Structure 1
Amino acid sequence: MGSLIGELDERRAAVRARVEELEGEIAVLTARLEAERSRLERLTVTRETLEELAAEGVAVDVDAPVVQEPVNEGQVVGVQTVVAWREGMSSADLPPVYRDIVDVIDDAPGPVQAKQVVPRIGLPVRTSKIEGTRGKLKRLVERGWLAEATPGLFAPSARRAPNDTAD
């Protein structure tokens, strides 16, 4: 009987090691996926900005050489920082677009989807805007501002009361 238990323990240890290995691979792939989603969002916004400029009659010279100005070490350009929620914080502590999203979610009668948030924050209902907003919603979930009990449905986090105000 001892050899059977020993065999089971060996198999269990091997499977446990494989599970840990796969979890590590998933973490790496998840980080790569987030980086690519971020890149896709930036490219989409850039294209939309160029289209808006063209629609306004601003001449956009696509053949002009691209000049990259050096950025100081540690200096971040064009990034909105979403801080993790802590006791006493309110949506006023967020960058404007994130504040608008949290306020819309707080005012909703129940969980909402990204496509329901987009028009309420003043964006046109287009796939690129919905996906960009979904990314922001996911970021707010990661930082504790919102909850996603069901995939794709966002609600205020149970840790904070909707419309929290700092004293």
Structure 2
Amino acid sequence: MGAGKSTIGRLLSHELKLRFVDSDKVIEERAGADIPWIFDVEGETGFRDREAHIIDQLSEEDNQVLATGGGAVLRAENRSNLQGRGTVVYLQASVAQQLERTARDKNRPLLQTPDPEAVLNTLMEQRHPLYLQVADIVIDTERRNPKAVVTDIMTELRAQQIVK
């Protein structure tokens, strides 16, 4: 959360000349409601069910850069689909950086709490090992310009002979 998935994903898709898809946006479009509303009505489990369905569909498609929500790695089926169907880039950011980047964002239901830092620390403890498990490439986004991050991703993609 707040690592730059959407911003960097858009820039990377432009660099690769591929379309950009944000799974959270697709969920909202298909539900006809925003993510906070889905969380309120269906709870996190309902949202994660929708997310798994969408990731299964989207990860079958080629020629795209897919940005997923930060919690997508929580489900084994998502990890398997992402890892088996594409190249996974983990954009790593510290909790302090995430807190700074998400401070005013009301579209993040898990952070609508008196202590968002504690929530982010807990999420990092749960998710970081899972991100590492599925990642083909790990890139630090801490206090970095998104274009520099994309340059690093492209360097890694070339080094792994994923792109020319």
Q: TM-score if structure 1 supplies the norm length? A: 0.27
Instruction: Write 1 or 2 for the structure with the bigger share of helix.
Output: 2
TM-score (norm 2): 0.27
Q: Which has the larger radius of gyration?
A: 1
Q: Which has the higher strand share?
A: 2
